[in-house]
A and B are shown apart, each in its own frame.
Chain A
Amino acid sequence: MTNSWTDIRNTDLVVIMGGNAAEAHPCGFKWVTEAKANRGAKLIVVDPRYTRSASVSDFYAPIRQGTDIAFLLGVINYCMLNDKVQWEYVKAFTNATYVVKDGFAYQDGLFTGYDENKRDYDRSTWDYQIGPDGFAVVDETLQNPRCVWNMLKAHVATYTPEMVERICGTPKDKFLKVAQMIAECSTPTKTMTSMYALGWTQHSKGSQNIRCMAMLQLILGNIGVRGGGMNALRGHSNIQGLTDVGLMSNLLPGYMNIPVEKEADFATYMSSRAFKPLRPNQTSYWQNYKKFFVSFQKAMWGDAATAQNDFAYHYLPKLDVPAYDVLRTFELMHQGKVNGYFCQGFNPLLAFPNRQKITESLSKLKWLVTMDPLDTETSRFWENHGVYNNVDTASIKTEVIQLPSTCFAEDFGALTNSGRWLQWHWAGGTPPGEAKRDNWIMAQIHRRLRALYEKEGGPFPDPILGLTWNYADPDEPTAEELAKEMNGYAVETLYDPADPSKVVLEKGKQVVNFSVLRDDGSTACGCWIYSGCFNEAGNNMARRDNSDPDDTGAYPNWTFAWPLNRRILYNRASADVQGKPWDPTRKLIAWDGTKWSGYDVPDIAPNAKPDVVGPFIMNQEGTARLFARGLMREGPFPVHYEPFEAPIANVIAPKIRGNPAARVFQDDLKQFATSEEFPYAATSYRLTEHFHYWTKHNRVNAVLQPEFFVEISEQLAKEKGITPGSWVRVWSKRGEVKAKAVVTKRIKPLMCDGKLVHVVGIPLHWGFMGAARKGWGPNSLTPFVGDANIETPEYKAFLVNIEPTTGPVTS
């Protein structure tokens, strides 16, 4: 989230699209209710199903899953044609005025530089014209046909209300009503918030779904303001934290990157990370990258990371592919190229697409280690549960070690919520049996492996033997120790560069925040964006002052928000070019002639002059990007692409299947179906009463929603002869499930490009372990393909068939 849950109270219009907060995030949704009740805010829901969010909305519009980009580009087109633009914001705070390089073009669904065999682009023309002064060329008058604004205007012209109706199945009048309501938020005193979740991410173009709405929010001037923003509701309790700390194949903590092979040495690695400003006087904050990187290396390897060895640059692995994401890893596992696998609190047998492939892949492992408080399906993937897990146990040669871990109630530490609040929690219960905390388990694995390398030697043991491990009890580092390490500390006494006689921070003390980190090895910091969370003032994540001066919704002294306890990102953009709040009733920060101050920690240097330094300090431009340059794999502007399995051909580019830049493995391509074979458009979703595959272990939740079902329209039920509550078989090209049919008015068929499209809804909470009845998840059906940029699987749009059947035989 750019903003926070409690800030939603400040909005005028909530758009829930790609999410269903009333059911999936009920206690956060209360802030939508507050905005409606106290500000007269309106709620729009755009969804294939008439969800409970929709049931309390002011306006609902149906949409076919996987067509959000066409819808949103249609809204952008509407705003541009009807002059519903926050012009001062767009001209000063976005790259609308920047002139695009010659050679860049778009035609028939593709941008310049496409290589069909590689399914990838040469992105060299996707950039700005650079002037003789080394800065990007801009045209403040917006007359140049090659400036971003005019290129975007031409790009979105295709997405007329008629085209939106044709692609999305949203009736034209409903689309126009939504567009009108959104367009009203282009004034500086009206704002809109976007609340989205996995309904946008789980597509082969998920990143562009989100980017598209972010562009719309910029055009309306809604980023950085109270009640505005791009608000990713997110899934798990600490999915934000795990991403922040970088537990992904290609990441270092704090959104830095693992090196790739061609970055053969530290100098080469840093050369592409200079982040020189692209416009005069801009902050380009990533210029500090080296400070954060070196401080991370010092936290990892301490004395072993020296200037002489490039701060142990070679201790890090180097990637030969963009990422060993989960889809690639299971593809490799399927090819027999992975021997061992750890699942820490993760249930891939139900969480990853194409379950048959997942079962086959796990069966090829030599060993699997699971760590979980609960008895998961993954840890028992080898066990035969009849139709629910029909495996040949004896033929599966995988050794499985199942480790019992504690749950939240028995552990200390912080979780980062979607509003970026790091909230500390305390243990209140004794773990059952011999269950152990994850910190103990991970410490044991490390210490035992380290002992083996000390005793036996082996290939390049240095990163293991040199790992910083200065904990009071080396067998179980405490949460406090680890939080302090992430916050960072002075490795050497720090002196003021301007006055070397002045001590800034004594050796061993906690740094106040990341602003004091250095690139010479004198500071250590495990995760720079968290720096400030546990400094000499103590554990700021444990703060519990719930006062909220002037009721802004900021709660500035409640726990700690990254970065620097900032509650709303880009908050400099809440004020105009002179630094005056766009909306005095929604003041966030303001310029008083010498400095910035207000209700939030300014997202800009405190003395940065407002008419000189742009608000988007992380970007080299100082502005936000309507044109993404080469940073997105499938193009600088979003384009409507159909899901890989779609009920109709792509109307704007009939030859293109799916996202042309998404990676597809050969064997999976063969398992993509056409609408001739599988005519119905399926989607997956969560229920209020369950959390993934987790709450089915709880008696209360198992009673509330005991049994797997699929949801279909009355029209489809009639067409297929399916009666409410009867058994149906649903199958895709990859597998089948049996479920009770819930026949509802919440789903209605959509007319898309002249074809009636039926939608099948598949909730995702059942398996073969726990207290609920046995069932399946949608992953028995879903295709093995991910988003082009980050490889999130396409769970939200795929094709199935359905027929009446008899219930599964159960003992």
Chain B
Amino acid sequence: MNMELSRRGFLKVAGVGVAGTSLGAFGFGDLEAAQAAAIRPFKLVNTMETRNTCPYCSVACGIIMYSKGDLRKGENAEIVHIEGDADHPTNRGTLCPKGAALKDFVKAETRLKYPMLRKPGSDKFERISWDQALDRIARLMKDDRDANFIAANNAGVPVNRWTTVGFLAASATTNETAYLTYKVVRSTGIVAFDNQARV
């Protein structure tokens, strides 16, 4: 249901065919050929449709993303167009100036591609591998937790609190990511835990 061959693309192809035939019947054969040659192929032909919701405000408008390539088949998929989902009860196909430009977010030049490290005092980021980044993070966490974890208060009550490391979660992530983040963060004893709801 979430992905299907573009209906609009199909209709557009059919429409061009009909127009061409009637022009031909009036004896404009050469014109027809010239016109057909000049028409840019409709960009959504043979694209995959995927249902999503706009990631900006909490109206959560329905959107349809059109991509070249099918993720379900393990192919690389490049998003070429995003528009409002006319079936969605809230936005009924409309989008605001932010939502209408969503493709520019997906393809922003400042999208990050690789893990980077900025060393203390350095004036630049250096590319590192995921393994380097994640092993380093785990080491930094472990060392700090081992040094600063408060297992019990003065009265001997277990308090299991780690106050020297904090975690800000993102209120544009999914509920599922939020829940996983909750599990991982809380299991360490981190208490400085927050998200944009507070601001």
User: With A314-B160, A315-B160, A432-B111 given, is the CB distance from A698 to B105 under 8 Å?
Assistant: yes
Which of B82, B97, B178 gathers most chain A CB within 10 Å?
B178
A446 at the interface (CB under 8 A from B): yes
Asked whether B77 lies within 8 Å of A237 as measured between CB atoms, the reply is no
B79 contacts chain A at the CB level, 8 A cutoff: yes
Does the CB pair B118–A402 fall under 8 Å? yes
Q: Which residues of B contact A437 (CB under 8 A)?
A: 177
Question: What is the distance, in angstroms, from A756's C-beta to the closest C-beta of chain B?
Answer: 32
Is B52 an interface position by the 8 A CB rule?
yes
B177–chain A nearest beta-carbon distance, Å: 4
Q: Provide a sorted-by-A list of 24 A–B residue pairs whose CB atoms are within 8 angstroms.
A: A31-B90, A233-B57, A237-B60, A243-B171, A247-B194, A248-B198, A319-B161, A326-B198, A328-B192, A341-B168, A344-B181, A366-B140, A402-B125, A404-B111, A408-B54, A408-B172, A409-B65, A428-B79, A433-B112, A439-B180, A444-B130, A544-B1, A688-B96, A770-B108
Given contacts A5-B90, A238-B58, A401-B137, could you give 6 more A-B pairs where the C-beta distance is less than 8 Å? A236-B171, A403-B112, A418-B59, A428-B49, A438-B181, A448-B134
User: Which residues on the B side are within 8 Å of A558 (C-beta)?
Assistant: 89
Interface status of B45 (Cβ within 8 A of chain A) = no
List 4 A-B pairs, minimum CB-CB distance, nearest first.
Answer: A433-B113, A345-B170, A413-B174, A428-B50
Q: How many residues of B contact A (CB 8 A)?
A: 126
Are B55 and A27 in contact, CB atoms less than 8 angstroms apart?
no
Bound Cα distance from A530 to B100, whole angstroms = 31
Chain A residue with minimal CB distance to B59? A28
Contact A318 to B159, CB < 8 A, known contacts A248-B195, A402-B125, A453-B142: yes
Taking A432-B111, A701-B97 as contacts, is the C-beta distance between A242 and B187 under 8 angstroms? no
Q: What's the Cα separation between A373 and B162 when bound, in Å?
A: 28
Decide yes or no whether B23 CB sits under 8 A from chain A. no
Q: Mark B72-100, 1 if CB is under 8 A from A, else 0.
A: 00001111001000011111101111111
A95 interface hit (Cβ, 8 Å): no
A428–B52 CA distance with the chains assembled, in angstroms:
8
Q: Which residues between 666 and 714 of chain A lie within 8 Å of chain B, taking CB atoms?
A: 688-691, 694-695, 697-701, 704
Given A315-B160, A394-B121, do A428 and B65 touch, yes or no (CB 8 Å)? Answer: yes
Are A244 and B175 in contact, with the CB atoms below 8 A? yes
Given contacts A247-B169, A341-B166, A404-B115, contact A239 B76 (CB under 8 A): no
A612 CB-CB contact with B under 8 Å = no
Whole-angstrom distance between the alpha carbons of A415 and B190 in the complex?
A: 25
Q: Is B138 an interface residue (CB 8 A)?
A: yes
CB-nearest residue of chain A to B71: A427
Closest beta carbon of chain B to A457's beta carbon, Å: 9
> Which residues of A sit under 8 angstroms from B46, Cβ to Cβ?
none
Known contacts A247-B194, A325-B194; is A338 also within 8 Å of B98 by CB?
Answer: no
A235 contacts which chain B residues (CB < 8 A)? 57-58, 171, 196
A417/B59 in contact, CB under 8 A? yes
Interface class of chain B by DSSP: mixed
Instruction: Choose one: A320, A452, A483; the contact of B142 (CB below 8 Å).
Output: A452
Check: B6 CB closer than 8 A to any chain A CB. no
User: What residue in chain B is nearest A479 (Cβ atoms)?
Assistant: B176
Residue from the list A245, A372, A795 in contact with B178, Cβ < 8 A: A245
B34 within 8 A of A: no
Min CB–CB distance B132 → chain A (angstroms): 9
Q: Is the CB of A530 within 8 A of B175?
A: yes
When the two chains form their complex, are residues B171 and A691 in contact, meaning their CB atoms are under 8 A apart? Answer: no
| A340, A456, A770: most-surrounded residue (chain B CB, <10 A) | A340
- Complex Cα gap A462–B199 (Å): 33
Q: Is the CB of B79 within 8 A of A429?
A: yes
| B-chain residues with CB within 8 Å of residue A698 when the two chains form the complex | 101, 104-105, 108
| A463 lies within 8 A of B169 (CB) | no
| CB-based nearest A residue for B69 | A430
A506 at the interface (CB under 8 A from B): no
Judged by a CB distance under 8 angstroms, whether A791 is at the interface is yes
* Interface-central residue, B91, B109, B112, B182, by most chain A CB under 10 Å: B112
Q: Check A483 against B175 for contact (C-beta < 8 Å).
A: yes
The closest CB in chain B to the CB of A558 belongs to: B89
The verdict on A413 contacting B176 (CB below 8 Å), with A241-B171, A242-B196, A404-B112 known, is: yes
Asked if B30 CB lies within 8 Å of chain A CBs, one says no
Provide the bound-state CA to CA distance between A31 and B115, in Å.
Answer: 43
**Is B139 in the interface zone, CB < 8 Å from A?**
yes
Given contacts A317-B160, A374-B110, A430-B69, contact A438 B173 (CB under 8 A): yes
Task: Decide if A314 touches B158 in the complex (CB within 8 Å).
Answer: yes
Taking CB atoms, residues of chain A closer than 8 Å to B3 are: 426, 428
Interface-facing stretch out of A207-215, A346-354, A625-633, A747-755: A346-354
The closest CB in chain B to the CB of A241 belongs to B175
Separation in Å of the B149 CB from the closest CB of chain A? 4
What is the bound-complex CA distance between A411 and B180, given in angstroms?
14
Q: Are A445 and B196 in contact (CB under 8 A)?
A: no
Q: Is B44 an interface residue (CB 8 A)?
A: no
State whether A253 touches B179 (Cβ < 8 A): yes
Docked-complex contact B104 and A699, CB < 8 angstroms:
yes
Q: Return A418 CB to nearest CB of chain B, in Å.
A: 4
When distances are taken between beta carbons in the complex, the residues of chain B under 8 Å from A438 are 170, 173, 177, 180-181
CB-nearest residue of chain A to B94: A27
The answer to whether A700 and B104 have CB atoms under 8 Å apart is yes
Contact B199 A324 (CB under 8 A): no
Q: Do B52 and A425 touch across chains, with their CB atoms under 8 A apart? A: yes
Tell me whether B19 is interfacial, beta carbon within 8 Å: no
* B119, B180, B182, most chain A CB atoms within 10 A: B180
Name, among B125, B169, B185, B188, the residue most crowded by chain A CB atoms within 10 Å (CB to CB). B169
CB of A464 within 8 A of CB of B188, answer yes
Say whether A399 faces chain B, with CB atoms less than 8 Å apart: yes
Per the bound structure, the CA–CA distance linking A402 and B66 in Å amounts to: 30
Interface residues of A in 265-303 (CB under 8 A from B): 300
Interface presence of A342 (CB below 8 A): yes
A238-B172, A555-B89 given; A458·B194 CB < 8 A: no
Contacting residues, chain B, for A453 (C-beta < 8 A): 142
The answer to whether residues A324 and B166 also contact, given A247-B182, A429-B77 and a CB cut-off of 8 A, is yes
Distance (Å) between the CB of B121 and the closest chain A CB? 5
Asked if A653 is at the interface of the complex by the 8 Å CB criterion, the answer is no
Q: Given that A249-B194, A479-B176, A771-B109 are known contacts, is A404 also in contact with B114, CB under 8 Å in the complex? A: yes
- State whether B184 touches A247 (Cβ < 8 A): no
- Name the residue on A nearest B47 (C-beta): A428
CB <8 Å contact, A444 and B134: yes
Q: Which residues of chain B are near A427, meaning CB under 8 Å?
A: 50, 71
A430 to B58, CA, bound (A): 25
Chain A hits for B88, CB < 8 A: 546
Contact of A769 with B by CB under 8 A: yes
Bound form: Cα–Cα A414–B158 in Å: 36
Question: In the complex, what distance in Å separates the CA atom of A217 from the CA atom of B91?
Answer: 27
A396 within 8 A of B: yes
State A409–B185 Cα separation when bound (angstroms): 25
- A426–B171 CA distance with the chains assembled, in angstroms: 18
User: With A236-B171, A375-B112, A402-B112 in contact, do A408 and B77 touch (Cβ < 8 Å)?
Assistant: no
Residues of B within 8 A of A325 (CB): 194, 198
The answer to whether A435 touches B113 (Cβ under 8 A) is: yes
* Contact call B105/A695, Cβ cutoff below 8 A: yes
